[in-house]
Amino acid sequence: MEVAPSKSESISIPWNNAWLKHPDVMKWVEKMVKHCEPDMVHLCDGSAAEYEGLANYLTAEGKIVRLNPEKRPHSFYCRSHPDDVARVEECTFICSKKKEDAGPTNNWKDPEEMQNHLKDLFKGCMRGRTLYVIPFSMGLPVSAFAQIGVQVTDSPYVVMNMRLMTHMGSQALEKLKPNSFVPCLHSVGVPLKEGEKDKMWPCNPEKRVIAHFPEEKSILSFGSGYGGNALLGKKCLALRIASYLGKQHGWLAEHMLIMGLTSPKGEKKYIAAAFPSACGKTNLAMLTPNLPGWKVECVGDDIAWIRVGKDGRFYAMNPEAGLFGVAPGTSMKTNPNAMASISKNTIFTNVALTQDKDVWWEGMTDKPPAHLTDWLGKPWDPTSKDKAAHPNSRFTASIRQCPILDPAYDSAEGVPLSAIIFGGRREHTIPLVYQSFNWQHGVFLGASVSSETTSAAKGVVGKVRHDPFAMLPFCGYNMGDYFSHWLEMGKKTTPDKLPKIFYVNWFQKDAQGKFLWPGFGDNIRVLEWIFERSSDKGNFEKTPIGYLPKTLNLSGLDLSPFDMKALLTVDPALWKKEVEELEEYFTLFKDHFPKALKEELQGLKKRLS
Ligand code: GTP
Ligand code: SPV
Ligand code: MN
């Protein structure tokens, strides 16, 4: 069969003045165009008109649906391919020169080998499509800490999402310094033959690869159009590449929310919290307190970049511009601020569609509306046990729409942290909250996070796995070295200036499988204790695992003393098992496991015996 000549031979890229200032970017884009062979090239400026144009194009193609403007103004609905619904960890690679530098928890491939493999995959992969060039900034472009990326993609849906999730467009290009951009190449991996009709959601699950080259600061992603696989500024750049940069230059890139917390007395503190995917970051970041007088403000809901400031305190900033949140479970009861954030100008992916073209998902209301179309596009039978929305269905919206956005979101330096919280989803063993004895012990708590798996990644749901610092899928280098880096960060300032470290678990269950703790707005009761303890105030008792509260403020809460006791129990038998488990896990890191954490493990063992 004769292969038609590529149209890319005759493509002239419509460079304008903004781009002409960046010959290094132009050279790279030209190379990508030549190799991927698209039919057309579009240079994104990030404007509202451009977004509108893409939305109209995708709507006309039937690939997205414009929602009812009276119910959900300027919002869109999209269904993905059923085999492209979440992050794919088994296809995600860290390609460092040495395998050891990727560490035992990452998939590794030799960079050259991976480049060769990807070269073949990407050859001609954009035939029949438009190649979009997206300049974007992670971090406010005005911030000295911002990282500028340029993503090349053949997915207009990805372009729309990137506009909401990153500081995208001319503002990023203007800030770009020579030879400093992070090249991010993405393709859904489905070239079209002449005249071939496109699929609703093109993707190539058999050939999916999400490859990171931390040493040369670049990202290549093939075959998926969903979330963290395709919006390359998020997990790929702002966590995997950024964590590697942080290790090199003395800062941290973390899977953390950042919140401002103001007490009834008017004192304000900032807190960051790391929980694994779909374990409650967005919800905590926007919490509506069930205790009078407390105020929560949101700086970020997924990623924090943390540096030591001039005053010796730890400053956190949110590199993202949007929310890519889990839809199921989000309701006016659990998270009214998220509901307000997605009331307009939002993209919904894999939720259910109502008859009057609005959206619905499990947990949004007690009773589902009649005649839903499910995430697979079929009429939904409410008596079936199938879910109407996919468990990892998500909303994409600008963080500016969050009614409790903290004014310091716009601070180029970030906010000073008083506390750092780790947490996971555990049915038993881990109490509701406890505090570390000090920084080193706190790093040990971070290293010991384990959690039940969720639908945020492809694979089994509900299996307990180790997820140190909630970074297992996101650390761009050897996790053992990452532990050492955290210990080193603690030595960059005086102990009094370090954030205090805590561990929480909202997810303990009773024998009937019901959550013991009400969670959501009642988590403020735990935050109140953390707030006080971060100034060395408040009640506490010393236990083998750390400081636990003697009591929490439970006013207005109907919780049996029996359940409360269970929530704050340290069961020595269960904890001995936990420690055995941990000891076994930590052997994975061999020589990279820091001595200080070995000491912590031995200390814990001793205190428990
Ligand atoms: P990613 O975006 O994947 O990183 O997730 P996340 O950590 O932001 O999790 P999110 O806040 O979206 O919550 C995930 C799921 O956990 C949702 O279905 C929530 O309703 C549920 N959830 C959040 N907080 C609580 C809580 O305090 N208690 C209980 N029982 N469920 C919660
Ligand atoms: C997560 O899985 O932690 C997410 C969603 O925040 S994704 O962007 O798909 O990684
Ligand atoms: Mn996340």
Query: Which ligand sits closest to the CA of 210?
Result: 2
- Name which residue sits closest to atom 11 of ligand 1, judged by CA: 280
Q: What's the CA-to-centroid distance between 608 and ligand 2, angstroms? A: 36
Picking from 210, 101, 105, the residue whose alpha carbon sits closest to that of residue 449 is: 105
Q: What is the CATH number of the domain that holds 158?
A: 3.40.449.10
- Name which residue sits closest to atom 10 of ligand 2, judged by CA: 228
- Name which residue sits closest to atom 4 of ligand 2, judged by CA: 277
Q: Is the residue at 452 inside a domain?
A: yes
Q: Is the residue at 368 inside a domain?
A: yes
User: Is the model's pLDDT at 2 over the cut of 60?
Assistant: no
* Residue 235, ligand 2, Cβ within 6 A: yes
Q: How confident is the model over 360-364, as a mean pLDDT?
A: 98
**310 plus 409 within the same structural domain:** yes
**15 plus 128 within the same structural domain:** yes
**48 plus 122 within the same structural domain:** yes
What is the span of the domain harbouring residue 424? 253-320+405-608
* Residue 453, ligand 1, Cβ within 6 A: no
- Hey, what amino acid is at 569? T
pLDDT of residue 550: 97
User: Is the model's pLDDT at 10 over the cut of 90?
Assistant: no
What is the Cβ-side half-sphere exposure of residue 69, based on CA atoms within 13 angstroms? 1
- Hey, what amino acid is at 598? K
Calpha distance 336→338 (Å, rounded): 5
Among all residues, which ones are annotated catalytic?
A: 279
Tens-digit pLDDT profile for residues 479-514: 999 999 999 999 999 999 999 999 999 999 999 999
Pocket test for ligand 1, best of 282, 332, 393 (most atoms within 8 A of CB): 282
Picking from 316, 314, 317, 318, the residue whose alpha carbon sits closest to that of residue 500 is: 314
* Residue 129, ligand 2, Cβ within 6 A: no
**394 plus 428 within the same structural domain:** no
Query: Which ligand sits closest to the CA of 451?
Result: 1
Other C-beta atoms closer than 10 Å to the C-beta of 99 total 15
CA of residue 79 relative to chain centroid, distance: 21
User: Is-contact 503 446, C-beta < 8 A?
Assistant: no
**166 plus 212 within the same structural domain:** yes
User: Is the model's pLDDT at 401 over the cut of 60?
Assistant: yes
Q: What's the CA-to-centroid distance between 381 and ligand 1, angstroms? A: 26
Q: At 4, is the pLDDT very low, low, confident or very high (cuts 50, 70, 90)?
A: low
Calpha distance 18→170 (Å, rounded): 7
pLDDT of residue 5: 56
User: Is the model's pLDDT at 8 over the cut of 70?
Assistant: no
User: Is the model's pLDDT at 3 over the cut of 80?
Assistant: no
- Hey, what amino acid is at 575? W
Q: Which one of 223, 249, 275 terminates a domain?
A: 249
* Residues shown for the chain: 609
Q: What's the CA-to-centroid distance between 4 and ligand 2, angstroms? A: 39
**234 plus 330 within the same structural domain:** no
The average confidence (pLDDT) of the chain is 97
* Residue 519, ligand 1, Cβ within 6 A: yes
Q: Which one of 401, 422, 457 terminates a domain?
A: 401
Q: What is the CATH number of the domain that holds 502?
A: 3.90.228.20
Atom of ligand 2 nearest to the CA of 229: 9
588 backbone dihedrals φ, ψ, rounded to 5°: -50, -35
- What whole-number percentage of the chain has pLDDT above 70? 99
* Residue 176, ligand 2, Cβ within 6 A: no
Q: What's the CA-to-centroid distance between 87 and ligand 2, angstroms? A: 7
Pocket test for ligand 2, best of 88, 232, 234, 454 (most atoms within 8 A of CB): 234
Q: What's the CA-to-centroid distance between 255 and ligand 3, angstroms? A: 6
Q: Is the residue at 142 inside a domain?
A: yes
**395 plus 535 within the same structural domain:** no
Tens-digit pLDDT profile for residues 580-609: 999 999 999 999 999 999 999 999 999 999
The dihedral of CA 544, 546, 551, 555: what is its sign?
negative
Q: Is the residue at 72 inside a domain?
A: no
- Name which residue sits closest to atom 18 of ligand 1, judged by CA: 329
**422 plus 396 within the same structural domain:** no
Atom of ligand 1 nearest to the CA of 324: 2
Other C-beta atoms closer than 10 Å to the C-beta of 436 total 22
Q: At 11, is the pLDDT very low, low, confident or very high (cuts 50, 70, 90)?
A: confident
Atom of ligand 1 nearest to the CA of 522: 27
- Name which residue sits closest to atom 3 of ligand 2, judged by CA: 277
**453 plus 581 within the same structural domain:** yes
Tens-digit pLDDT profile for residues 463-483: 999 999 999 999 999 999 999
- Name which residue sits closest to atom 4 of ligand 1, judged by CA: 277
**216 plus 277 within the same structural domain:** no
Tens-digit pLDDT profile for residues 82-126: 999 999 999 999 999 999 999 999 999 999 999 999 999 999 999
**581 plus 451 within the same structural domain:** yes
Query: Which ligand sits closest to the CA of 254?
Result: 3
Q: What's the CA-to-centroid distance between 227 and ligand 2, angstroms? A: 6
Token pair for 477: 């280098």
Q: Is the residue at 69 inside a domain?
A: no
* Residue 338, ligand 1, Cβ within 6 A: no
Q: Which one of 375, 401, 427 terminates a domain?
A: 401
Q: What is the CATH number of the domain that holds 349?
A: 2.170.8.10
Residues 6+ apart with CB under 8 A from 244: 214, 215, 476, 477
Q: At 434, is the pLDDT very low, low, confident or very high (cuts 50, 70, 90)?
A: very high
Q: Is the residue at 81 inside a domain?
A: no
User: Is-contact 64 359, C-beta < 8 A?
Assistant: no
Residue 526 buriedness (CB in 10 A; 0-12 / 13-18 / 19+)? buried
**204 plus 125 within the same structural domain:** yes
Q: What's the CA-to-centroid distance between 283 and ligand 1, angstroms? A: 6
Task: Specify the number of domains making up the chain.
Answer: 3
Q: Is the residue at 444 inside a domain?
A: yes
Q: What's the CA-to-centroid distance between 304 and ligand 1, angstroms? A: 18
Atom of ligand 1 nearest to the CA of 326: 12
Tell the residue number behind the tokens 């009276």, with chain if given: 70
- Name which residue sits closest to atom 24 of ligand 1, judged by CA: 280
Q: Is the residue at 105 inside a domain?
A: yes
* Residue 456, ligand 1, Cβ within 6 A: yes
Atom of ligand 1 nearest to the CA of 255: 4
Pocket test for ligand 2, best of 165, 324, 326, 347 (most atoms within 8 A of CB): 324
